[in-house]
């Protein structure tokens, strides 16, 4: 049986923010995970706890960490201003999909 590298087959996902533009989120690989940890200043094991206790700050940081992989010109404040409550549901769903470590 031939071994399949699931990560190599992942495709970027897109989210639409309040400016109406689509932004790409990278496939999750080791480098992306390490960059998320570096940007957020915490290990992925603590992410769930942070999401429960500091929901908006943590979501903004996570979305920023993912977006800056493909759009390095964005800064964290710009990302925060591009996310309104209107987009939160679909963004949360997309983030959950790409962060699923199954």
Q: Record the pTM.
A: 0.77
**pLDDT value, residue 69:** 87
Residue stretches of the chain with pLDDT short of 70: 1-10, 101-102
**Rg of the chain, C-alpha, whole Å:** 14
User: What pLDDT does 82 receive?
Assistant: 94
Q: Which residue has the tokens 């992925």?
A: 44
pLDDT of 51 reads 77
- Identify the pLDDT of residue 17: 93
Q: Which two tokens stand for residue 60?
A: 């903004």
- Sequence-distant (6+) residues with CB within 8 A of 63 are 15, 79, 83, 91, 95
Contact 13, 94 (CB under 8 A): yes
What is the pLDDT at residue 102? 39
């Amino acid at each position: 049986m031939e071994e399949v590298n699931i990560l190599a087959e992942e495709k970027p996902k897109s989210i639409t923010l309040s400016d109406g533009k689509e932004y790409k989120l990278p496939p999750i690989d080791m480098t992306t995970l390490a960059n998320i940890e570096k940007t957020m200043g915490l290990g992925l094991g603590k992410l769930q706890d942070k999401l429960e206790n500091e929901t908006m700050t943590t979501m903004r940081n996570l979305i920023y960490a993912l977006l800056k992989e493909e759009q390095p010109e964005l800064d964290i404040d710009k990302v925060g201003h591009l996310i309104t409550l209107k987009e939160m549901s679909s963004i949360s769903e997309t983030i959950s999909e790409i962060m699923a470590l199954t």
